[in-house]
Amino acid sequence: MNQNATNPQNYYSYLVEQLNTNSYAHTLNHLAELIQDDPAGFAFLWELARGENETIAMRASAVMERIARKYPETFESRQDEIIQAFQRELSAGLARNLLKGLRYISYQEKNSGFLLNYCLDIIQSNQPAPAIKVYAMDIVWKIIQDYPELIVEFQIIMEQQVHSEIPSIAAHTRNMIKQMNTFRKKQLQKPSKHD
């Protein structure tokens, strides 16, 4: 429990009140600061993010994304349950904020495979919102840097996205292909283990 919270009921009520009141960046950042090292507060936030009230759920997931950006170790410690959430149907807003947050953390090897396949499916789908697709691209790129043998396959998938009618996806794809080409050149310049 957060050290500032002398009464847990007041603390949780305060969180809900703030999430219900507004979504201004300063409020979301304040809540991220408040919860960042509080496992019980993060668990409560996670519960709200999966709750019935769409407004509070969206704002709670936005706070979680800010926690991931500023305090990745807090978000990272919950990655198993966050990644398991993708095995169920998620609202677009929750999926977007969770994927955005996942870009900032390191993945446990046991989660990398699922996350890689999930994100590749998103990239190749025509359904998701552009932001979801862009965050999925970032996650795949982060994972495959540890598995360079997958870069060629990913680059083929990305080259299909260059012609997207959505400017943000086309631009992000072009930038990512440049990053892949630079990465591959650096890999080729590294001395071989057999030299």
Three-state SS string over 66-101 comes to HHHHHCHHHHHCCHHHHHHHCCCCCCHHHHHHHHHH
Give residue 121's domain range: 108-195
**Residues 10, 99 within the same domain:** yes
The Cα–Cα gap between 67 and 62 comes to 9
**Residues 10, 61 within the same domain:** yes
Q: What is the mean pLDDT of residues 49-77?
A: 93
Residue 78 scores a pLDDT above 70: yes
**Residues 102, 118 within the same domain:** no
Of 106, 123, 151, which residue constitutes the final position of a domain? 106
pLDDT at position 139 is: 97
**Residues 24, 37 within the same domain:** yes
Residue 4 scores a pLDDT above 50: no
**Residues 134, 56 within the same domain:** no
The Cα–Cα gap between 68 and 62 comes to 10
For 44, the enclosing helix (H) or strand (E) is: helix 39-49
**Residues 146, 102 within the same domain:** no
Residue 36 scores a pLDDT above 90: no
Report residue 37's pLDDT band, with 50, 70 and 90 as the boundaries. Answer: confident
Q: How many domains does the chain have?
A: 2
Of 106, 140, 172, which residue constitutes the final position of a domain? 106
Q: How many CA atoms lie within 13 A of 192 on its CB side?
A: 2
pLDDT at position 7 is: 63
Which of 19-28, 68-77, 84-93, 112-121 is the least confident region? 19-28
pLDDT at position 3 is: 47
**Residues 10, 21 within the same domain:** yes
Percentage above 70 pLDDT, the chain:
94
pLDDT at position 192 is: 59
Residue 115 scores a pLDDT above 90: yes
Strands (E), the chain: none
Q: Is 150 exposed, middle or buried (0-12, 13-18, 19+ CB in 10 A)?
A: middle
**Residues 67, 131 within the same domain:** no
**Residues 74, 128 within the same domain:** no
Of 91, 106, 121, which residue constitutes the final position of a domain? 106
Q: How many CA atoms lie within 13 A of 78 on its CB side?
A: 25
149 DSSP assignment: G
pLDDT at position 162 is: 87
**Residues 96, 112 within the same domain:** no
The Cα–Cα gap between 37 and 22 comes to 23
How much is the pTM? 0.87
Average pLDDT value for the chain: 89
**Residues 44, 130 within the same domain:** no
48 DSSP assignment: H
**Residues 95, 170 within the same domain:** no
